[in-house]
Amino acid sequence: MKTIGVLTSGGDAPGMNACIRAVVRTSLSHGWNVFGVRHGYAGLITGEGAILSSREVSGIIQQGGTILGSARCPEFKTQDGLQKALRKLHQHQIEALVVIGGNGSQAGALALARMGFPVVGVASTIDNDLVGSDITIGVDSALNIALEAIDRLKVTASSHQRAFLVEVMGRDSGYLALMAGIAGGAELISIPEIETTPEDVAQALRASYEHGKAHAIAVVAEGARYNAEALVAYFRDHQERLGFDLRATTLGHVQRGGSPTAYDRLLATRLGAGAVAALVREEHGVLVGMVHGRVQTTPLADIVGKLKPIDPELFALAQVLDR
């Protein structure tokens, strides 16, 4: 019987558990065992983990986070770390590996693949910045959590005629901010890909009141040049001239901790099954993602190190809707 490994790496994302479950159960249907590696690449280097039975992945489809644990592991970026991981894989007689994670994790998967080890990646990050998948595991859940917060802030903002700023995750990508801003009816959206100055923010928030609105909400990505901290400091320093202050809420890791939505459970299940299907076809060194509504594979070498661009039409639409 063949044994394959599965690990979750980088930022956890709601739906990772549903993906692990799908990998385990579809593997078992092919007569393969699955070794669940603990704590991402850190556990791969130390050889931490165990074989997962079908019962061990029962009742996890609705849980956020990852039962395997995740990690950021600088050692895996070194030749020494990679060699140690390969030794542990051979020791445990693991013949192929499924890596569930984001951009960095897939760079790690490619590094292993380049050393001749059969690897398949699964697109999973709340940032939705991976090329090779239109949408990644966790995005829908994170977006819904952000939206709930924005909706609540809008209520209190309207009661007090106050300007609010919400910072959402997105180290390098403005996807979450853009989508949360559009769906939450924000007056301004600021993302890393397009520079927005503090004066642009002030102008948009002021315009909101001039248009007769009771609230003014700005949604800012954490990776934007002026994040929540910078904007609050600017507004404090220029309060007299600007005429109003700004209350900021940083959602941070709250967005990653929720239970996966129906969409994420289905996406994660399909991509997890797709990863095993790729291994059955002996297709390695690829990322499994959702492209035009279908589970598809793309060579890791074609996606690693790239950032999915935001849709300029959506950004332009947001500018039209904020009046």
Partner whose binding site includes residue 171, from ligand ADP, ligand F6P, none (CB under 5 to 8 Å by kind): ligand F6P
What end-to-end distance do the CA atoms of the chain give, in Å?
Answer: 62
Residue 22 CA to residue 17 CA, distance in Å, equals 9
> Min. distance of Cβ 69 from ligand F6P in angstroms?
13
Partner whose binding site includes residue 169, from ligand ADP, ligand F6P, none (CB under 5 to 8 Å by kind): ligand F6P
Partner whose binding site includes residue 260, from ligand F6P, ligand ADP, none (CB under 5 to 8 Å by kind): none
Annotation marks residue 127 as catalytic:
yes
Residue 134 CA to residue 125 CA, distance in Å, equals 12
- Give the bridge partners for 168, in sequence order: 221
Using the rule CB under 6 A, is 125 a contact of ligand ADP?
yes
Partner whose binding site includes residue 170, from ligand F6P, ligand ADP, none (CB under 5 to 8 Å by kind): ligand F6P
> Min. distance of Cβ 255 from ligand ADP in angstroms?
13
Region near ligand ADP per CB under 6 A, out of 51-59, 100-108, 220-228, 272-280:
100-108
Q: Which residue is nearest to ligand ADP (CB)?
A: 104
Q: Which is nearer to ligand F6P, 251 or 318 (CB)?
A: 251
How many CB atoms neighbour CB 320 within 10 A?
A: 7
Residue of 209, 213, 216 whose CA lies nearest to 231: 216
Tokens 């949360």, residue located: 180
What is the β-pairing status of strands 49-51 and 33-37? Answer: antiparallel
Region near ligand F6P per CB under 6 A, out of 121-129, 143-151, 191-199, 274-282:
121-129
Tell me the per-residue interface mask from 1 to 40 with ligand ADP, x by CB under 6 A, - otherwise. Answer: --------xxx-----------------------------
Region near ligand F6P per CB under 6 A, out of 61-69, 113-121, 123-131, 192-200:
123-131
Please name the residues in contact with 307: beta carbons below 8 A apart, sequence gap of 6 or more: 103, 129, 131, 172, 173
Residue 252 CA to residue 254 CA, distance in Å, equals 6
* Exposure b/e, 95-127, CB count within 10 A at least 16 = b: bbbbbbbbbbbbbbbbbbbeeebbbbbbbbbbb
Structure tokens at 21: 């479950």
Partner whose binding site includes residue 289, from ligand F6P, ligand ADP, none (CB under 5 to 8 Å by kind): none
Partner whose binding site includes residue 77, from ligand F6P, ligand ADP, none (CB under 5 to 8 Å by kind): ligand ADP
Element (H, E) at 278: helix 262-280
- Give the bridge partners for 295, in sequence order: 290
Alpha-carbon torsion, ordered 253, 257, 261, 263, to 10 deg: 60
Q: Which is nearer to ligand F6P, 4 or 109 (CB)?
A: 109
Q: Which is nearer to ligand ADP, 138 or 274 (CB)?
A: 138
Q: Which amino acid is at 148?
A: E
Using the rule CB under 6 A, is 105 a contact of ligand ADP?
yes
Catalytic residue among 12, 127, 129, 322: 127
Q: Which amino acid is at 115?
A: M
CB 139 within 8 A of CB 294: no
Q: Which is nearer to ligand ADP, 103 or 298 (CB)?
A: 103
Note the residues at the interface with ligand ADP (CB under 6 A). 9-11, 41, 72-73, 76-77, 101-105, 107-108, 111, 125
Q: Which residues are catalytic?
A: 127
Note the residues at the interface with ligand F6P (CB under 6 A). 10-11, 72, 102, 125-127, 169-171, 222
